[in-house]
Amino acid sequence: MTDCDGRYWIVVVCLGNICRSPMAASILTDRFARAGLGYRVSVTSAGTGGWNVGRPIDPRARVTLQRSGYSSEHRARQFQRDWFSEADLVIGMDYSNVQDLRGMTRDEDDVTKVMLLRSFSPQLVHLPEDDPGLEIPDPYYGSELDFKRTAAMIEDAVDGVVDYVRLALR
């Protein structure tokens, strides 16, 4: 089940789909709208694990998003292998997510769709693909400050995603 409606479809993926990936999906959706591309791009999120399916976003993530003016409506779901057939870009939050996603790919075309979110950050594009500095740590066992740091890391990278998609849509 997808919700791309023929638009360029981005799926943002973390482990449980209640912290990082829904935060990233909300922030990306906002940035695409601001860039005038909201009608051409659909952003959703999912987890590699299924234990949170149907649960709402973590309350700390919700508060972090709301304080910055972002939407926080969300129900967790698990990434499905067949989504690769419709997804244009699948973005992982850390190397474990990327590795899990690449393990689900069907062919080389699917592999090229999987990228790490912070690899789009203008300040980090010089780093090699496997650099630990490109990961967004899971804030789940952390404090409210960890959620704010997560949001800041996401915000730092999303303009690069918007630029990447803008070029792809030409």
Task: Say which of 20, 60, 62, 77 is annotated catalytic.
Answer: 20
Global pTM value: 0.95
Q: Using CA atoms, how far apart are residues 14 and 19, in angstroms rounded to an integer? A: 8
Give the residue among 65, 61, 134 at the shortest CA–CA distance from 96. 134
Rg (CA), the chain: 15
2 part of a folded domain: no
Listed range (3-17, 38-52, 75-89, 156-170) with the worst mean pLDDT: 3-17
**Angle, CA 58 vertex, CA 120 and CA 47 arms, to 5°:** 55
Q: Which band of pLDDT confidence, cut at 50, 70 and 90, is reported for residue 4?
A: low
Number of domains in the chain: 1
Q: pLDDT, tens digit, for every residue of 33-44? A: 999 999 999 999
Q: Please determine, for residue 2, whether its predicted confidence score (pLDDT) is greater than 80.
A: no
Domain of 124?
Answer: 8-168
Task: Say which of 30, 58, 94, 138 is annotated catalytic.
Answer: 138
Q: pLDDT, tens digit, for every residue of 13-24? A: 999 999 999 999
151 part of a folded domain: yes
Q: pLDDT, tens digit, for every residue of 54-80? A: 999 999 999 999 999 999 999 999 999
92 part of a folded domain: yes
pLDDT at 5: 79
98 part of a folded domain: yes
17 part of a folded domain: yes
43 part of a folded domain: yes
Q: Assign 3-state DSSP to the chain and report helix, strand, coil percentages, each to 5.
A: 45, 15, 40
**Annotated catalytic, 131?**
no
3 part of a folded domain: no
Task: Say which of 3, 7, 14, 34 is annotated catalytic.
Answer: 14
23 part of a folded domain: yes
For position 148, which CATH number holds?
3.40.50.2300
Q: What is the percent of the chain where pLDDT is above 90?
A: 94
* Residue 46 phi, psi (nearest 5): -160, 170
**Annotated catalytic, 4?**
no
Q: Please determine, for residue 1, whether its predicted confidence score (pLDDT) is greater than 70.
A: no
